A and B are shown apart, each in its own frame.
Chain A
Amino acid sequence: ETGVTQTPRHLVMGMTNKKSLKCEQHLGHNAMYWYKQSAKKPLELMFVYSLEERVENNSVPSRFSPECPNSSHLFLHLHTLQPEDSALYLCASSQVGMRQTDTQYFGPGTRLTVL
């Protein structure tokens, strides 16, 4: 595997389910990101993890919970989601940490549908 991989690629879940999205980067990077991509809207940054710290967008509901066990893996735990949470969830990584500007490389995304 190369680059940034995400699993599953598609997920359909009910509002009472609990599921997790997984992201893995094979680039030796030190920072990882979760983005939400909804139709006709700009990409929205949800969470950032680096060696130094975690940053979250305060507008992200608590039903989304990130976990970053090491610099190569990132999870997004989902519980009691709403239909409006249906979107493409993208993971990205960058070489340097959050204190510097650097190129972000994206995975293919997980298409989430909440029924």
Chain B
Amino acid sequence: GENVEQHPSTLSVQEGDSAVIKCTYSDSASNYFPWYKQELGKGPQLIIDIRSNVGEKKDQRIAVTLNKTAKHFSLHITETQPEDSAVYFCAASRGYKLSFGAGTTVTVRA
């Protein structure tokens, strides 16, 4: 089955700096790659996603890049703010089955 690895497990950044989270996947047939943000006491919330026919996607301060050849994708958050502090999960899927990374705890220092 699909195996998704996510790094780093924790990330501390100064407010205003950028944060980058990287994921690799094993199944070359995976074609959908969402990113979720989970705040304390809440369920994961979709923040951005990308499909395998696209190499990059941007939404305001958030961007995702996908390298199908290398089977890795990354989340970039620019101009980080305190409200960006949360756990971020990457996932990869083919069909209905989402395989998740273990998560990255991001802390934005004021």
- Which residues in A have some Cβ–Cβ distance to B below 8 Å? 4, 6, 31, 33, 40-43, 45, 48, 50, 55, 90, 94, 97-109
Report chain A residues within 8 Å CB of B97: 45, 48
A4, A45, A50: residue with the most chain B Cβ atoms closer than 10 Å:
A45
Assembled-state Cα–Cα distance A99/B93 (Å): 12
Tell me the dominant secondary structure on chain A's binding face: loop
User: What is the interface of chain B mostly: helix, strand, loop, or mixed?
Assistant: strand
Across chains A and B, which 3 residue pairs bring their CB atoms closest together, nearest first?
Answer: A106-B43, A98-B96, A42-B100
> Which residues of B pack against A, CB within 8 Å?
4, 31-32, 34, 36, 41-46, 49, 51, 89, 93-103
Q: How far is the CA of A86 from the CA of B93 in the complex (A)?
A: 27
Asked, given contacts A40-B102, A42-B4, A42-B103, whether A106 binds B44 with beta carbons under 8 Å apart, the answer is yes
With A43-B89, A106-B36 known to touch, is A94 a contact of B96 (CB < 8 Å)?
A: yes
Rounded to whole Å, the gap between the CB of B88 and the closest CB of chain A is: 13
B39 to chain A, nearest CB (A): 10
Instruction: Point out the residues of chain B lying under 8 angstroms from A45, CB to CB.
Output: 97-98
- Min CB distance B38 to A, Å, is 9
Q: How many angstroms between the C-alpha atoms of A83 and B42 in the bound complex?
A: 22
